[in-house]
Chain A
Amino acid sequence: MKDRRLEEALRHLAPPPGTQLWHGGASPLGALRGVSPQVAGWKPYPDRNSIWDLALHIAYWNYAVRRRLTDEPSGGFPRSPSNWPDPPNARTQASWKADRKLIKESHDRLVDALRNFDPSRLDDYAGSEKTTYADLITGIVLHDTYHTGQIQLLKRLAKSEGLR
């Protein structure tokens, strides 16, 4: 059985190849395409997040929501701390490539979890909180979108600062 809420979420998280999202912009993975380690590590101000910070944060929450959808035990995310994992000290091409791989894996596993999610559970509470699975799914889509907007912003700002 299909559910409109699940289909809508999947359309945002995993748009079919060759299609643009509604705003003409990118999905989180698309937003990271072509970003260099220099641009990824750049911050407009010292107390602001970099693209690298945001990308790992998105990956963490993709993991955390997937875990709740699939009832997996906690502790499976390979980086710490939770919520805002630290980027590596050495911000090299290799470490950025490795983190992009982690981000893609986390995203793909979330999409798989959504594709396999039983729609009849959408209105059930997810754990002991007053949050349903539908709330969780809507929340992760909004969360990805919120931070993708920030990644797109940082790319523009970095470009105007002459970073490539």
Chain B
Amino acid sequence: MTNRSAALFVIGASGVGKTASVQALEERSLPGVRCHYFDSVGVPSTDEMVRDFGSTEEWQAAATRKWVERLASETTGELAVLDGQMRPSFLMAALKATPLASYRILLLDCEPEVRLQRLTSRGQPDLVSHQMDMWAAYLRGQVDALDLPVLDTSTLALSDVVEHLVMELDQLR
């Protein structure tokens, strides 16, 4: 049976402004909107992921399935917003297994130089790497393959990004 839940998945690599914008959205306390953060369930160590799931990738797939199941069961009549570095491939598979009444997937992206500046200024220079650029490309590839919306936050103020999230939510109402 299809449930009445609706969700906006805000995805992207580190430094694109996902968590900052979802937190700012949450502070607006919009009626019927609940914000969630993927990593809030705890992220095991790489060794634990490999031991329990076979690979880090399979842990991510399983965690994404769990989140979608949770949103389907807990958010009836509400709009859920989930912030995380979820791959569209895992999200689509999870949504096929546990359909929501409606959903949107929005990729936040930014220029590598902007990511570098943001991660450095927030004290996470360890995340500034060629690998993060690769991860951004990987996510962008999947999003483009599905023609999903992309918001380039490189030159946007946080308030502009939040306004965009509100518009995305309006499309789910």
Write the residues of chain A forming the contact surface with B, with a CB cutoff of 8 angstroms: 8, 12, 20, 22-25, 44, 48-49, 141-143, 145-150, 152-157, 159-160
Contact across chains for B145 and A23 when beta carbons are under 8 A apart: no
Most buried by B among A8, A48, A49, A157: A157
Contact across chains for A150 and B135 when beta carbons are under 8 A apart: no
Contact across chains for A25 and B134 when beta carbons are under 8 A apart: no
**A-side contacts of B142, CB under 8 Å:** 149-150, 152-153
Q: How far is the CA of A148 from the CA of B56 in the complex (A)?
A: 17
Contact across chains for A154 and B145 when beta carbons are under 8 A apart: yes
In order of increasing CB-CB distance, the 5 nearest A-B pairs are A24-B56, A24-B57, A149-B141, A146-B141, A149-B138
Q: How far is the CB of A32 from chain B (nearest CB, A)?
A: 15
Total inter-chain residue pairs, C-beta < 8 Å: 82
Write the residues of chain B forming the contact surface with A, with a CB cutoff of 8 angstroms: 49, 55-58, 60, 87-90, 92-93, 96-97, 130-131, 133-135, 137-142, 144-146
**B-side contacts of A159, CB under 8 Å:** 93
Contact across chains for A25 and B138 when beta carbons are under 8 A apart: yes
A153 contacts which of B57, B92, B97, B137 (Cβ < 8 Å)? B92
B140 contacts which of A12, A25, A146 (Cβ < 8 Å)? A146
Q: How far is the CA of A154 from the CA of B145 in the complex (A)?
A: 9
| Given A22-B131, A156-B89, A160-B92, A142:B137 Cβ within 8 A | yes
Q: How far is the CA of A155 from the CA of B88 in the complex (A)?
A: 12
Look across to chain A and name the residue whose beta carbon is closest to the beta carbon of B49: A24
Contact across chains for B141 and A23 when beta carbons are under 8 A apart: no
Contact across chains for B92 and A25 when beta carbons are under 8 A apart: no
Q: How far is the CA of A117 from the CA of B135 in the complex (A)?
A: 26
Look across to chain B and name the residue whose beta carbon is closest to the beta carbon of A48: B145
Q: How far is the CA of A25 from the CA of B60 in the complex (A)?
A: 11
**A-side contacts of B96, CB under 8 Å:** 160
Q: How far is the CA of A155 from the CA of B93 in the complex (A)?
A: 10
Look across to chain A and name the residue whose beta carbon is closest to the beta carbon of B57: A24
Q: How far is the CA of A8 from the CA of B56 in the complex (A)?
A: 21
User: What 7 additional pairs, Cβ within 8 angstroms, besides A142-B133, A153-B146, A156-B93?
Assistant: A20-B55, A22-B134, A145-B134, A146-B137, A150-B142, A157-B93, A160-B93
A146 contacts which of B49, B93, B131, B138 (Cβ < 8 Å)? B138
Q: How far is the CA of A142 from the CA of B96 in the complex (A)?
A: 29
| Given A24-B55, A25-B57, A160-B96, A153:B145 Cβ within 8 A | yes
Contact across chains for A150 and B141 when beta carbons are under 8 A apart: yes
Q: How far is the CB of B63 from chain A (nearest CB, A)?
A: 12
**B-side contacts of A152, CB under 8 Å:** 87, 89, 142
Between A and B, 25 residue pairs with Cβ closer than 8 Å are A12-B134, A22-B131, A23-B57, A23-B134, A23-B135, A23-B138, A24-B55, A24-B60, A25-B138, A142-B133, A146-B140, A148-B138, A149-B87, A149-B89, A149-B138, A149-B141, A150-B142, A150-B144, A150-B145, A153-B92, A156-B92, A156-B93, A160-B92, A160-B93, A160-B96
